[in-house]
Amino acid sequence: MTPDDLARLSAAAMWADDRASQALGMQVDDVGPGRAVLRMRLREDMVNGHGIGHGGLTFALADSAFAFACNSHNRRTVAAGAEIRFRAPTRLGDELVATAVERSREGRDGTYDVTVAVGDTVVATFVGRSREIGGALVEPEAT
């Protein structure tokens, strides 16, 4: 089995139980070793009192892309910390695309960069720090 195959199987296993990302209408576009691309369209219930996309939902999309990227090695991994910088507002109907890339992975710790964009405009940058907690997403006999 290739690392790409393993990443796809790990993503499928995660997606099956990821009720939060599903409820927000996210879609997994691509996943590979140490990387993931997810998208989400902003609905009426995702716009705040200023008429712009709620920052917490932009964070949620970035966090989900980060989660799929850091779990792509078939090692159960959670966030140890994260930060986001909002660079431009989002609007009702915008399709946000979050691209997560592994910057480093040493031992049980990792660092991931996530860019959230609407078209060619970067609307947020996110840095996530991960920690492996033990176990696999896909059983060894499936790999």
pLDDT tens-digit profile of 88-107?
A: 999 999 999 999 999 999 99
> Given a cut of 80, is residue 140 above it in pLDDT?
no
* C-alpha span between 38 and 45 (Å, rounded): 19
DSSP H helices in the chain? 3-17, 19-23, 55-70
pLDDT tens-digit profile of 32-84?
A: 999 999 999 999 999 999 999 999 999 999 999 999 999 999 999 999 999 99
78 in helix, strand or coil? strand
CB 99 within 8 A of CB 93: no
Q: Cβ neighbours of residue 79 under 8 Å, at least 6 residues apart?
A: 63, 66, 67, 128, 129, 130, 131
Instruction: For 126-141, give the DSSP string.
Output: EEEEEEE-S--SS-GG
* C-alpha span between 137 and 36 (Å, rounded): 16
Total-model pTM? 0.95
Complete domains list, the chain, with CATH? 3-136 (3.10.129.10)
Phi and psi angles of residue 76, each rounded to the nearest 5 degrees, phi first: -60, 125
Whole-Å CA distances, 6 to 50, 70, 101, 138? 42, 13, 17, 8
